[in-house]
A and B are shown apart, each in its own frame.
Chain A
Amino acid sequence: MNCRAEVLEVSVEGRQVEEAMLAVLHTVLLHRSTGKFHYKKEGTYSIGTVGTQDVDCDFIDFAYVRVSSEELDRALRKAVGEFKDALRGSGSDGMGQISLEFYQKKKSRWPFSDECIPWELWTIKVNVVNLANEQERQICREKVGEKLCEKIINIVEVMNRHEYLPKMPTQSEVDNVFDTSLKDVQPYLYKISYQITDSLGTSVTTTMRRLIKDTLAL
């Protein structure tokens, strides 16, 4: 199948990067997470419950809903933190992008490793702006808040198209579709990577693999 790709763009101030990224990533993952599966006999399964919680942003006039899972939140914060540091680092003119990719694993026969086949890719392009005074910052707070509202609506629109979703797996296949490492929720398998555009305009790829059970079966 083809991988569905969506691109979102935001312009934010340096200190807003983290919250803006988390807002978008959490919103996507809210839609792409289910409760934990509990397989019963005869191939049936039951699904756990997903809780949600409101998060207020400190640097943006914005609030979003995320899945109530501390592990998931930690994983996202780690990824976004690294992205933010890379953006701030040398060689960067404040432009970069972070990607959230959902994929399925396809088991291959030995000696070949498993394939990762993406089925949905979310890319958030970030442009960091520098503001001169407090008044501009205040305006930026509100503007970015409004922009994020639009992004959330865009995300929901895409989710609503009910396009391809991996089939619900059997018990043996569940790890090929879902990330079962978390104890309270079960998102689809995903990985986060980012790229920073340096001032020369060339793309310096810094891929960071998310800490998932991506072991090579060799």
Chain B
Amino acid sequence: MDTDLSSQDRKDLDKFIKFFALKTVQVIVQARLGEKICTRSSSSPTGSDWFNLAIKDIPEVTHEAKKALAGQLPAVGRSMCVEISLKTSEGDSMELEIWCLEMNEKCDKEIKVSYTVYNRLSLLLKSLLAITRVTPAYRLSRKQGHEYVILYRIYFGEVQLSGLGEGFQTVRVGTVGTPVGTITLSCAYRINLAFMSTRQFERTPPIMGIIIDHFVDRPYPSSSPMHPCNYRAGEDNGAVYPSVEDSQEVCTTSFSTSPPSQCVFTVTKAHFQTPPPVVTDTLKVPVMGLAFSHQPAALGVGSADMGYPVLFAGGLHAAHPHQLIGPGKEGGVPPIPSQPAHGTQADQERMCTPLDGVHYSAATPSSSEDTETVSNSSEGKCGSPHDLLETIFVRKVGAFVNKPINQVTMANLDIPFAMFAPKNVELEDNDPMVNPPDSPETESPLQGSLHSEGSSGSSTGNTHDDFVMIDFKPAFSKDDILPMDLGTFYREFQNPPQLSSLSIDIGAQSMAEDLDSLPEKLAVHEKNVKEFDAFVETLQ
């Protein structure tokens, strides 16, 4: 009931709440800029410092906040939320925190608006200053730069906590009772930041998001674009945004969860979907030792979320001295134009006006996922083409491998340090193509060769897989002319022998010897040039 509140008090209260909301946003965003904030105390009141605190006003942030509020005030069911998220240079993003300014119905009629409420709001802002340095996102934001940047988004309405992952924690900054309700300020923050890298191993798809549509709908009440927690102080747009790596290398991860002998590259790109705004977890967090770069190549397309370019990532810290803001001083920050975000590539250059009427949906790259699973068990890069291919290489170990009867162990050979010598000598013995099975038609050697323990035909170690041999009967493959049928032929020649030049044989020529013999070989070939030319002619 507002009848007890005088109209002057009511007006004052509304004004206090409005400016409190704006200052709250300023404090939160400034705390995520990645720099140390410093403002001066002033003994003489200037009249322009709300709540007697020197909190600078960044114009873009104020503008965004006002836009989100759209003339309303936080009320029951209508909260003002500031979402802080992290975006890597490849375009992956993840929500880190949601700060909520809420109002509930519990009223305190006795409280004096102009005095007690005001002072308590001031105290709450001080608490907010303290708490913003204490959540995990603060340390992340201080380290932002080349590899990732921190973005903010303001929305008004219902609080959406789903993007924070499981097990998020909440901290309450404080409450202030007013005659019209109780203002509550709290923060929900993700805690499993440290496990981002390992989560990639547990989850397979989807790891990366691809945006197919600029205007993906997001289940947020207001689809406001994300903004960088960064701003310039007057210089021109020399945006040093970390460029997206268009190298398209899909598997640059260096984890190896299985023995290197079994390389399974599965690169599938599924159809585009519009997934829930779930966080992808393959982020390149510099604090981790691992480097993953996820390939959002097609991500380039319309990441409509990035309404505001992420700028100045790199040298920003150096470029920005501490902001010593006296009351009333403008930071001299030019408005950052919003941009028709075309993904991360676009982020580098574009500028747009904040007054751009287009509403970009606040989709982050993660919001449209593809089921690109890259499980690369071998180290190093696998340069699989990053496009709509389905490439499955499965190299099995010797389907024809016989258990060696006369296995020559290294220990029997009379060489020094036999145990440490490469084991490839025996591999050649076991290579089925070098020693082909007895008869291509019988099935018993095939069945007997299923176990590949220790005697792997592959040169890269051993596997413990048991292959179940199914009778391979290719259709329409009977051929009366040749003694063997297609299936047998296929099986027999499934594993071609190693090239002799590639096999590492102790007795083989060394590289140096090879090189030495090259000139002679060249001389011989030169002599026969005419023959070669004639041969080539016949081919044409």
Q: By the criterion CB–CB under 8 Å, are A49 and B131 in contact?
A: no
Also in contact, A65 and B39, with CB within 8 A (given A48-B45, A49-B49): no
Q: Does B130 contact A (CB under 8 A)?
A: yes
> A50 interface residue, CB < 8 Å from B?
yes
**Cα separation A168 to B115 with both chains bound (whole Å):** 10
Asked whether A155 lies within 8 Å of B130 as measured between CB atoms, the reply is yes
Shortest distance from the beta carbon of A133 to any chain B beta carbon, whole Å: 21
**For the complex, is A206 an interface residue (Cβ under 8 Å from B)?**
no
Q: How far is the CA of A30 from the CA of B134 in the complex (A)?
A: 15
In the complex, what's the smallest C-beta–C-beta distance from A172 to chain B, in angstroms?
A: 20
Is B123 part of the contact surface with A, judged by Cβ < 8 Å?
yes
Q: Is A52 an interface residue (CB 8 A)?
A: yes
Contacts of B288 in A (CB 8 A): none
Chain B contacts for A49, CB-based, 8 A: 41-42, 45-46, 49, 52-54, 327
Q: Is B43 in contact with A36, judged by CB distance below 8 angstroms?
A: yes
Interface 9-mer from A56-64, A76-84, A112-120, A190-198: A56-64
A61 touches B139 (CB 8 A): yes
Contact with B along A27-40 (1 / 0, CB 8 A): 10011001110100
Give chain B residues whose Cβ lies under 8 Å from the Cβ of A38.
Answer: 43-45
Question: Nearest Cβ in chain A — how far from B174, in angstroms?
Answer: 4
For B138, the closest partner residue in chain A by CB is: A63
Are A52 and B172 in touch, CB under 8 angstroms? no
A residues near B126, Cβ cutoff 8 Å: 30-31, 52
Q: Mark A5-46, 1 if CB is under 8 A from B, else 0.
A: 000000000000000000000010011001110100000001
Specify which of B41, B49, B133, B175 is in contact with A64 (CB 8 Å cutoff): B133
Please determine whether A67 and B41 come into contact, CB atoms closer than 8 angstroms.
yes
State whether the Cβ of A68 lies closer than 8 Å to any Cβ in chain B.
yes
Q: Residue A107 at the B interface, CB < 8 A?
A: no
Bound CA–CA A54/B133 (angstroms): 9
A160 within 8 A of B: yes
Interface string of B30-51 (1 = CB under 8 A from A): 0000001111111111100100
Against B, the Cβ 8 Å flags (1 = close, 0 = not) of A64-95 are: 11011100000000000000000000000000
Contact B54 A47 (CB under 8 A): no
Interface presence of B421 (CB below 8 A): no
Contact B42 A65 (CB under 8 A): no
Interface membership of B173, Cβ < 8 A: yes
Q: Report if B171 contacts A (CB, 8 A).
A: yes
CB-contacts of A126-163 with B (<8 A) = 149, 152-153, 155-157, 159-160, 162
Partner of B127, one of A48, A67, A156: A156
CA distance A153 to B134 in the complex (A): 8
B37 near A31 with CB under 8 A, answer no
The reply to whether the CB of A53 lies closer than 8 angstroms to some CB of chain B is: yes
Q: Does B129 contact A (CB under 8 A)?
A: yes
Shortest CB–CB separation between residue A26 and chain B, in angstroms? 9
A51/B44 in contact, CB under 8 A: no
Q: Is the CB of B41 within 8 A of A35?
A: yes
Q: Is A185 an interface residue (CB 8 A)?
A: yes
| B120 in contact (CB, < 8 A) | yes
Inter-subunit contact A160/B45 (CB<8 Å): no
Q: Are A48 and B52 touching (Cβ within 8 A)?
A: yes
Residues on the A chain within 8 Å of B173, using CB? 156, 160
Is the pair A30, B130 in contact by a Cβ cutoff of 8 Å? yes
What count of chain B residues pass the 8 Å CB interface test?
37
Asked if B54 and A51 make an inter-chain contact with CB atoms under 8 angstroms apart, the answer reads yes
Which A residues are in CB contact (< 8 Å) with B39? 51-53, 68
Distance A67 CA – B46 CA, assembled complex (angstroms): 18
- Most chain A beta-carbon contacts within 10 A, residue among B123, B138, B172: B123
In the complex, are the beta carbons of A50 and B52 less than 8 A apart?
yes
Main secondary structure of the interface of A (DSSP, over half): mixed
In the complex, chain A residues whose CB is within 8 Å of the CB of B176: 162
In the complex, which of the residues A27, A35, A47, A68 contacts B130, with contact meaning CB atoms closer than 8 Å? A27
A185 with B41: in contact, given A49-B49, A159-B127, A160-B172 (CB under 8 Å)?
yes
Contacts of A61 in B (CB 8 A): 139
- Report the nearest B residue to A65, measured CB to CB: B129
A184 at the binding interface (Cβ < 8 Å): yes
Separation of A30 and B52 alpha carbons in the complex (Å):
12
CB of A183 within 8 A of chain B? Answer: yes
Contact of A47 (CB < 8 Å), options: B52, B138, B175: B52
How distant is B81 from chain A, measured CB to nearest CB, in Å? Answer: 20
Are A53 and B38 interface neighbours, CB within 8 A? yes
Give the chain A neighbours of B174 by CB distance below 8 A. 156, 159-160
Minimum C-beta distance from A206 to chain B (A): 30
Give chain A nearest CB distance to B285 CB in angstroms. Answer: 16
List, in ascending order, chain B residues with CB within 8 A of A54's CB: 36-38, 133
Tell me, rounded to whole Å, the shortest Cβ–Cβ distance linking B371 to chain A.
36
Closest-CB distance, A170 to chain B (whole angstroms):
14
Bound CA span A15–B46, Å:
41
- Of residues 240 through 264 on chain B, the ones whose CB sits less than 8 Å from some CB of chain A are none
The interface residues of chain B lying within 8 Å CB-to-CB of A48 are 41-45, 52
Which residues of B are found within 8 Å of A53, using beta-carbon distances?
A: 36-39
The reply to whether A51 and B40 form a contact with Cβ atoms under 8 Å apart is: yes
CA A4 to CA B39, docked complex, whole Å: 31
Q: Write out the residue numbers on chain A whose beta carbons fall within 8 Å of the beta carbon of B115.
A: 168
C-alpha spacing A143/B138, complex, angstroms: 16
Residues of chain A within 8 A (CB-CB) of B53 are 49-52
Q: Chain A nearest CB: distance from B143 CB in Å?
A: 12
Most B C-beta atoms less than 10 A away, residue of A67, A149, A184: A149
- Complex Cα distance, B52 from A36, in Å, reads 10
The minimal Cβ–Cβ distance linking B193 to chain A, given in whole angstroms, is 13
- The answer on a CB contact under 8 Å between A52 and B127 is no
B42 to chain A, nearest CB (A): 4
Q: How far is the CA of A30 from the CA of B127 in the complex (A)?
A: 9
Partner of A50 from the list B36, B37, B44, B54 (CB cut-off 8 Å) is: B54
| Docked complex Cα distance between A159 and B135 (Å) | 18
Q: Which residue of the partner chain A has the closest CB to B54?
A: A51
Specify the chain A residue showing the minimal Cβ separation from B174: A160
- Shortest C-beta distance, B167 to chain A (Å), equals 16
B44 / chain A contacts, CB cutoff of 8 Å: 36, 38, 48
Min CB distance, A68 to chain B, in Å?
A: 5
CA distance A155 to B174 in the complex (A): 11
A46 and chain B: residue at smallest CB distance: B45
Q: Which of A27, A35, A68, A160 contacts B175 (CB 8 A)?
A: A160
Question: Across the interface, which residues of B come within 8 angstroms of A153, CB to CB?
Answer: 131, 134, 171
Structural contact, B43 and A184, CB atoms closer than 8 A:
yes
A56 interface neighbour in B36, B42, B54, B134, Cβ under 8 Å? B36
A34 to B49, CA, bound (A): 13
Some 5 contacts from A to B, beta carbons below 8 A apart, are A49-B45, A159-B127, A160-B123, A160-B172, A160-B173
> Interface of B with A (CB < 8 Å)?
36-46, 49, 52-54, 115, 120, 123-124, 126-127, 129-131, 133-135, 138-139, 142, 171-176, 327
Q: Which 3 A-B pairs have the closest CB atoms?
A: A160-B174, A51-B39, A54-B36
